[in-house]
Structure 1
Amino acid sequence: GALAIPQLPVAKYPVVAPPQVEVYAVYPGASAQTLDESVVSLIEQELNGTDGLLYFESQSSLGSASITATFKPGTDPEMAQVDVQNRLKTVESRLPQAVIQQGLQVEKISSGFLMLVTLTASKDSNLDEVALSDYLARNVMNEIKRVEGVGKAQLYGAERAMRIWINPQKLIGFNLTTTDVNNAIASQNAQVAAGSIGDLPGSKTQEITATVLVKGQLSSPQEFADIVLRANPDGSTVRIGDVARVEIGSQEYQYGTRLNGKSASAFSVKLAPEANALSTGNLIRAKMDELSRYFPAGVEYSIPYDTTPFVKVSITKVIYTLVEAMILVFAVMYLFLQNMRYTLIPTLVVPVALMGTFATMLVMGFSINVLTMFGMVLAIGILVDDAIVVVENVERIMVSEGLSPRDATRKAMTQISGAIIGITLVLVAVFIPMAFMPGSVGIIYQQFSVSMATSILFSAFLALSLTPALCATLLKPIAKGEHHAKGGFFGWFNRKFEHLSQGYEHWVVHLIKRSGRYLLLYGALLVVLVVLFARLPSSFLPVEDQGYIITDIQLPPGASQNRTIKVAEQIEAHNASEPGIGNTTMILGFSFSGNGQNAALAFTTLEDWSERGAKDSASAIAKHGVGPFGDG
């Protein structure tokens, strides 16, 4: 069990979302409608009938489209990805050539971002946003994708590329078309395999051999500008530089990034299914620290959005609660048993049962999350019950019959073994049905119920094996009929507890004599309980302050990026004046509602929980933002 703990994934909740596989297609220059008709519809038709497929959804924007296929819970993500790739092979021949050249990306993903990493340059640096994106694409992205636990790393930018901006009027004036430009570039910017001199078979007098190197591909804007489009009979030529402006720019301008109002470049990371969120986050940070040593002068990275601190805090709080519960259980047992040896036996049993539960969780593919840890916290009180029953029965037999600890343990186990097994089966029967609930709710309660049932089963097993062994070896013999009168604090506690017990007995007798009126009171309490339960708000999971706010920005169709930037600047200015807010990262061109110039997504990271009060909670800050922007 101890060896299983480091191998268990760590997450806030179990993986509730069903497995998803994303297909990403790029069609440079194509409109959303063209992509939908020539690419997306064909892929969607082919995905129909995929094993375990629940549904699929697609988003098309200028130049790119994504299709997300969602599978039934329990489907193996690896096999789902392979199945999707096999089906794409049958449809590739019907896709546009430009899409095939760019390639179809197929990745298994999880819903939600793990973190967002940005790259910024100081004022003294001569690197702009395009240069930062190019550096990320060439030197960072591949390293991050190889990090264990990373499901998808998406760059909100692009590599540098040779941009040829055609002037339509000049092109028409020379009686040329864009097809002529494409053909000229393809024919004059080609990698040529020129062969070699003196290769075999050769003459007997051949002394040397050499490889012929031919410069086929062009590398500078001037070389592209000199590409000949047409040679006239009079010896004159029309070149690309005559009809277009050639420069080195970005491969695409779909996305943009702003960090606290300043230009930056960024990429997001999504967790792979069943991956360890904390471990993956730590590995990414370590990798970025390693890569940052080779960054150009004036360039630095930051992680303005990170979900792992909340996961870490949540699990840490539950672990503290688990430790506190064990301490309280130990204190209560010592208070009532009033003997360190008697108390030590149940205390030793609890960690062993929990370790067995961790080992079972690893075998079943569970994770360390709030629900499994919560199940263990609840199970602690149940775990000690079986051990206490064994210890008290052994002590009773030693006092009443004067037997040795070893003989008293043997006799005690013949008396209570059946009772322990019966109690265990009843408790397991209470929790196990929750593991068979269907849908996402069943997934949430499955790990909770199974961890509880496993802990209880291990407790019963230990009560029949380890606890008797400890009783036979640790307990001291007691003379027959020996009195255990206590003085001091324990004597005072026993007298007070006896007095309290007698008072409770008198109250129960009084209650039984007037059962009618108390049954009416009980019925009234049940009615009040039902009314209050019906009025309680309901939700799939509790709404918590996770330390960040995500704002989806969607302008009217056709709105340019300039209008989107103005809205982004207003949000940035509002966040800068709002107490409790740390960083504001704006992704232009991307949102949960779709991609395009009219879309953006804001990641607002809040200050640490210790530095914020109730007035600066995530929900309060979000409500403050509804006023200025809710009607926009």
Structure 2
Amino acid sequence: MKWLSSLSIERPVTTIMLIVTMIALGLVSLVGLPVELMPNLNFPVITVATGYSGVAPQDMEELVTKPIENAIESIEGVKTMTSSSKEGMSHVVVEFEWGTNLDSKSIDIKDKINLIKRMLPSDIDDPIVSKRNIMKNEVAMKLNLSGGNLSDLKKIADDVLKPKFERIPGVGSVDIYGGLDKEILVKVDPYKLESYGLTVDSLINLLRTASVNMPAGNIKEGGKEFLVRILGKAESVNDIKNIVISNKNGNTLYLKDVVDIMLGTEDRDNYNRFNGKESISLNLIKESGGNTVSIADNAKKMMKTLKNELPEGVKLTIGQDKSTYIKDSMSMVRDSALMALVLAAIILFIFLKNIRATLIISTAIPTSIIFTFVLIKYKGISMNLLSLGGLALGVGMLVDNSVIVLENIYRHLTEYKKPVIEAARDGAAEMGLPILASTATTVAVFLPVAFTKGIAGEIFRDFSYTVAFSLLASMIVALTFVPMISSKILKEGRETNKEGKLFVKLKEKYSKWIGIALSNRWKTLGIAVFIFAIVITAGIKFVGLDFFPSTDSGEYTVTATLPTGFDLEKANKIGKKIEKIVKANKYTKKYITQVTKKTIIVDVETPSKDLRKVSIEDISSNIREKMKNIPDITYTVKGSSRGGGGGGAAIQVSIQGDNYVILEKLSNKVKEKIKSLKGIVDVESSFEGGNPEVRIKINREKAEYYGLNISYISSIINSKMAGIVPLKIQSSGQDIKVKLILKKEYRDSIKKLEDILISTRNGETVRLKEIANFEQGEGPTQILREDKRREIIVSANNSGISLGNATKEITKAINGIKFPSGYSYKFGGSQKSMMEAMQSLVVAFLIAIFLVYMILASQFESFILPAIIMISVPFSLVGVYLGLMITGFSLSITVMIGIIMLAGIVVNNAIVLIDYINLLKAREIDRHEAIKKAGKTRLRPILMTTTTTVFGMIPLAMGIGASSDFYQPLAISVIFGLSVSTLLTLIVIPVLYSLFDDFHIWYMKKRGKAE
């Protein structure tokens, strides 16, 4: 490395141009980098979805889901296969191992489904095979349209707003909720039709053919050719009413004579409100690869242009803007990095007491950061919470290389009284290998994380690359820019080693402590081991285990599930009660409500966490407590976690077996057990009550006698009970459906259902009851399966208790339930993901330790010295557990990343110390004196690098700003781990060095070799 520092000093212009080029490339790379909250997560999951209208869950399972599962299970690499069979819908989810080529697996699945298509019902929807992307179908922005009647607003949303917003780059679709569509209702009395010799089927065919415009050829006349068109398309309610059914002997029978026809609106199937007032929501759905910030910015520009196009009184406002949180998070990371830079500069000045030296390093830091953007862009990494967070956390570490080089140059200049150029060259060259080793060890610990398979690797890959890139950039700067600028700025004879009285006293004290420790080596080592054992034991007992740290995004969602059979109006009344509770909370800023017969969802936005005195978890608990007063519902109140923890309930217990009756009984027992546990909230089951149903069993022989098949009978029943739309008319530029349906009195009883007339192929009719038997029953609303076994999932969230402790308590409770043979339970959800991620990161940690050892062994040409240095790694765990116990955080995935970081950071101090001990011993200085002198000489760079790293992470450890709580436990772990490890390393490493050196001398003597 000597040649590099010498070259930089001899060719300063070249060095400056190199640095300027690095900065220029970095700034160019920074422009246009996409901004997102989290990296694009591609899960190894493929879904197969298909529909079969009107078919019950049990029949969907038997006719559609099972054949698809049987076909897919033979594909190589399938890890887990789950499915959901609901009324009219089948959804199969296939999970593969991480790293699987999903493109080829998608082709395999499509091929398998094509082979079994003949086994599936002929009239099902074509199965759709798609890869799952967590960022796909994500809502980038919710817009709110209000200020008019709901049918007019719906027309504006459909015809004006939807097409315009769908043209915004990155928007996959615009989903519209709320509003009412106009509809012409043709209400049929089947007995009245019979009196006219008509059937519902004949009316459907009449409507389909009575409203058309058709070409009728061409006519040539007067040298011109005319197109002949027959205009028969209905354009109003009156046109529909006056459709002629028959005209016999001058007696005209119109459609209005046999049915009731009126213009109205479609039957409501939902309510949508913004801050309690009915409105329409337009959800801008991000396509795969779309950018939330870009979409939101373009949408706001579009809103300005549309302002004057909307009718008077109609307003288009922002209901929810996901980009705001992203921008706030990026600002938090940027501010943390700048604050870290300032703190590092202050610490350097305190240690160096030299403004020129401080400026040298303060210039080196931003240069390293800016150049990192070149590598980020080359790698295809976006500016997200992980990549920028890596830079913010790494600011303190970026100082290390430059500090070590500058401090050594400073020492050569002041202590050895060398000329400035010689001091710069020799000082940088002397530290070349230690810097290379320390950088290599720190970079090496991030490589296993970058290549780790699983969700932890996917999430922290950008983070790992960013830290590694920035450290490599800092090494280049330290070995080129720092010695070059030092040779130009530092002045011979004017520089003094201004350590200060306090620091001089500290060095003297430290020298005495080393002497005492070396005189009591085994006692010192015993005390260190005792501290390690006590803290680690206490940490394991008292520190909880979580997947990700809970993040406060300022939003929470109330989800209420209603019993089967509720009508929409009753659901809406409950929705208003929930809104009243939400509105009464003083921290509610705005809320969006969506109500269906089955579910009520209220998305609530509060001020940012810095503007309120309570956490989002406290607010959720308050809302949850008040929700207890609403009967007949199950509900969850969950904060929006944007740190990567994923959606859904944190705790999922899957009860598996074959018989759904037994599964229901077991799931109810599990649910009641979990409900009784403290700290477990939002408990609900995937099997909530039964789905009342009328089962129509077609007599196949009788149906065949009349020339009918089951598929035809099903379609007729469905069209008469649910209604059918045989045509649409266009009025005032708006498409209006014409819906034919039996009058309500003929649809509100099973007896009326039995009397439905079915047209046969020979023109006759037969009542449904003549070819079918009827029975009432109750079935599940959905049937879940995992690996072809039926399951019911009991889900919950933890509140005030870690996920690990919650899992322990639930396990104890469930183990008290006796499961029949063939029935079992297991955990899924966040707990399953947490354990898989933890296992992956433990493996990554062990690989990192091995790589660090290999690098150190190569540097020192020894197997013993790296082992001594590596002792600093377990000592860092003492600090980590102390930090977690003091601050109350749990051991999470982010903390594990911090521990892996420490494996590369804490060894640097020991490297610098032992490298200098070896250097002094090579100069034939007594070992005892070499250790003491090395300790005194390296104390300042060790404390400088440790302090700058620690202070560089303080801004994130403070937890101020959006998304800071994601990094807070990581920063705290590194701060405490590095601090404690440094203190123990300064004493224990010299002791271990002397012990191993004694062992080496004894071993060499025993082998008869001179030392």
Please state which band the TM-score falls in when normalised by the shorter chain: 0.7 to 0.9
Instruction: Give, in angstroms, the shift of residue 345 of structure 1.
Output: 2.2
Partner of 1:352: 367
Of 206, 209, 212, which aligns to 1:187? 209
1:494 positional shift: 0.6
1:484 maps to which of 472, 481, 496: 496
CA contact (8 A) 2:517 2:524 kept: no
Is 1:621 aligned to 2:636, yes or no?
A: no
Question: 1:254 and 1:238, CA in 2 relative to 1: closer, same or farther beyond 3 A?
Answer: same
1:229/1:240 contact within 8 Å kept: no
Match of 2:356, SS state, is helix
How does 1:339-418 map onto structure 2 within 5 Å? 339-399=354-414, 404-418=419-433
1:245 aligns with 2:261: yes
Q: Secondary structure of 1:465's partner?
A: helix
In structure 2, the residue corresponding to 1:3 is in which secondary structure?
helix
Give 2:761's aligned residue.
none
Q: Which of residues 268, 281, 290 is equivalent to 2:296? A: 281
* Amino acid in the other structure paired with 1:620: D
| Partner Cα distance (2:307, 2:63) in 1 | 42
1:332 partner SS: helix
Give the CA deviation at 1:470: 2.7
Instruction: State the shift of 1:17 in Å.
Output: 6.1
Aligned to 2:712: none
In structure 1, C-alpha distance between the alignment counterparts of 2:47 and 2:213, rounded to whole Å: 33
Cα distance in 1, alignment partners of residues 617 and 184 from structure 2: 45
Task: Determine if contact 1:12/1:369 at 8 Å carries over to the other structure.
Answer: yes
**Do the aligned partners of 1:9 and 1:275 also contact (CA within 8 Å) in 2?**
no
Shift of 1:497: 1.5
Is the alpha carbon distance of 1:528 and 1:391 closer, same or farther for their aligned partners in structure 2, counting shifts above 3 Å?
closer
Secondary structure (helix, strand or coil) at the match of 1:11 reads coil
Report if the CA contact (8 A) 2:406-2:428 is conserved.
no
Secondary structure class of the residue paired with 1:553: strand
Distance 1:44 1:166, change over 3 A: farther
Alignment of structure 1 residues 32-71 onto 2, 5 Å: 60=86
What does residue 145 of structure 2 align with? 119
Indicate the residue corresponding to 1:593 in structure 2: none
SS across alignment from 1:559: coil
Q: Which runs of 5+ in 1 are unaligned?
A: 199-204, 487-492, 590-596
Query: Which region of structure 1 is more displaced relative to structure 2, 221-230 or 103-112?
Result: 103-112
Q: Is the aligned partner of 1:209 residue 2:234?
A: no
SS in 2 for 1:580: coil
Say if 1:119 and 1:300, in contact at 8 Å, map to a contact too: yes
Deviations 1:399-421 (A, max 9, x none): 56666544544444443322322
Matches within 5 A, 1:171-182: 171-182=193-204
Which among 171, 185, 188 is matched to residue 150 of structure 1? Answer: 171
Which residue in the other structure is 2:185 paired with? 164
- 1:436 Cα deviation from its structure 2 partner: 2.3
Match for residue 497 of structure 1? 503
Return 5+ residue gaps in structure 2 as ranges. 1-25, 634-1011
Residue matched to 1:490: none
- Tell whether the 8 Å contact from 1:325 to 1:380 is kept in structure 2 after alignment: yes
Q: Counterpart of 1:530?
A: 537
Give the letter aligned to residue 260 of structure 1: N
Q: Per-residue deviation at 1:449?
A: 1.8
Q: Which residue identity is paired with 2:38? A: Y
Tell me how far apart the structure 2 counterparts of residues 65 and 13 of structure 1 sit (CA, whole Å). 31
Q: CA deviation at 1:440?
A: 0.7
Q: CA deviation at 1:483?
A: 6.6
Alignment partner of 1:566 is 2:573: yes
What CA distance in whole angstroms lies between the structure 2 residues aligned with 1:556 and 1:209?
Answer: 66
- 3-state SS of the aligned residue for 1:581? coil
Counterpart CA distance in 2 for 1:43 and 1:247 is 44
Q: In structure 2, what is the equivalent of residue 271 of structure 1?
A: 286
Question: What code does the residue aligned with 1:622 have?
Answer: S
- SS where residue 10 of structure 1 aligns? coil
How far off is 1:465 after superposition? 3.0
Offset, 1:176: 3.0
Contact kept? 2:213, 2:233, Cα under 8 Å: yes
CA distance in 2 between counterparts of 1:30 and 1:148 reads: 38
* C-alpha distance after superposition, 1:4-42 (max 9, x if no partner): 334333333334462778888788877777887888888
Alpha carbons 1:304, 1:605 under 8 Å: kept: no
C-alpha separation between the residues in 1 aligned to 2:158 and 2:113?
26
**Is the contact between residue 12 and residue 311 of structure 1 (CA under 8 Å) also seen in structure 2?**
yes
Which SS does the other structure have where 1:115 is aligned? Answer: strand
Distance in 1 (CA, whole Å) between partners of 2:281 and 2:48 is 22
Q: Distance between the aligned counterparts of 1:351 and 1:76, measured in 2? A: 39
- Using the alignment, how far apart are the partners of 1:562 and 1:245 within structure 2? 25
Tell me the SS of whatever aligns to 2:186.
strand
Between stretches 392-401 and 350-359, larger displacement belongs to 392-401
Q: CA deviation at 1:327?
A: 0.7
Give the 3-state SS of the residue equivalent to 1:607 in structure 2: coil
Mark the CA change 1:233 to 1:470 in structure 2 (over 3 Å): closer, same or farther.
farther
1:256 corresponds to which of 268, 271, 276: 271
TM-superposed CA distance for 1:99, in Å, is: 6.0
Structure 1 residues 189 and 483: CA distance shift in structure 2, 3 A:
closer
8 Å CA contact 1:350–1:384 kept in 2: the answer is yes
Would you say 1:448 and 2:463 are equivalent positions? yes
Cα distance in 2 for partners of 1:579, 1:310 equals 21
Partner letter of residue 261 of structure 1?
G
Q: Which of 440, 445, 464 is 2:479 aligned to? A: 464
1:9 aligns with 2:34: yes
CA RMSD of aligned residues (A): 4.0
Match for 2:558 among 551, 574, 578?
551
- Aligned residue identity for 1:187: T
- What SS is found at the alignment partner of 1:304? strand
Judged with a 3 Å threshold, the aligned counterparts in structure 2 of structure 1 residues 162 and 85 are, in CA distance, closer, same or farther, namely farther
8 Å contact 2:414–2:496 — kept in the other structure? no
The amino acid across from 1:147 in the alignment is I
Return the offset for 1:223. Answer: 1.4
Q: Give the Cα–Cα distance (whole angstroms) in 1 for the partners of residues 307 and 198 of structure 2.
A: 48
How big is the shift at 1:351?
Answer: 1.6
Aligned counterparts of 2:103 and 2:577: Cα–Cα separation in 1: 43
Cross-structure match for 2:612: 612
Shift of 1:282: 2.2
Shift of 1:624: 1.7
Sort the Cα spacing of 1:483 and 1:539 in 2 relative to 1 into closer, same or farther, 3 A.
closer
475, 483, 508: which is aligned to 2:489?
Answer: 475
Structure 1 residues 509 and 546, CA, compared in 2 at 3 Å: closer, same or farther? Answer: same
- Helix, strand or coil at the partner of 1:267: strand
Q: Conserved in 2, the CA contact under 8 Å of 1:221 and 1:248?
A: no
Shift of 1:268: 2.1
Q: Distance in 2 between matches of 1:317 and 1:132?
A: 39
Aligned-partner Cα distance in 2 for 1:446–1:167: 63
In the TM superposition, what whole-angstrom CA distance separates every residue of 1:311-361 from its partner, at most 9, and x where no partner exists?
Answer: 222222221111001011112222222333322222222222212322222
Contact between 1:27 and 1:35, CA under 8 Å: does it hold in 2?
A: yes
* Residue matched to 1:594: none
SS in 2 for 1:18: strand
1:198-228 per-residue CA deviation (whole Å, 9 max, x = no partner) reads 4xxxxxx852234444424322122122233
1:66 is displaced (CA, Å) by 7.3
Q: When the two structures are aligned, how many residues end up with a matched partner?
A: 599
TM-score when normalising by structure 1? 0.81
- Displacement of 1:263 after TM fit? 1.5
**Matches of 1:157 and 1:21, distance apart in 2:** 31
Aligned residue for 1:541, secondary structure, equals: coil
Q: Given the alignment of the two structures, is residue 422 of structure 1 paired with residue 451 of structure 2, yes or no? A: no
Structure 2: distance between partners of 1:459 and 1:189: 76
Give % identity. 21
Secondary structure of 2:551's counterpart equals coil
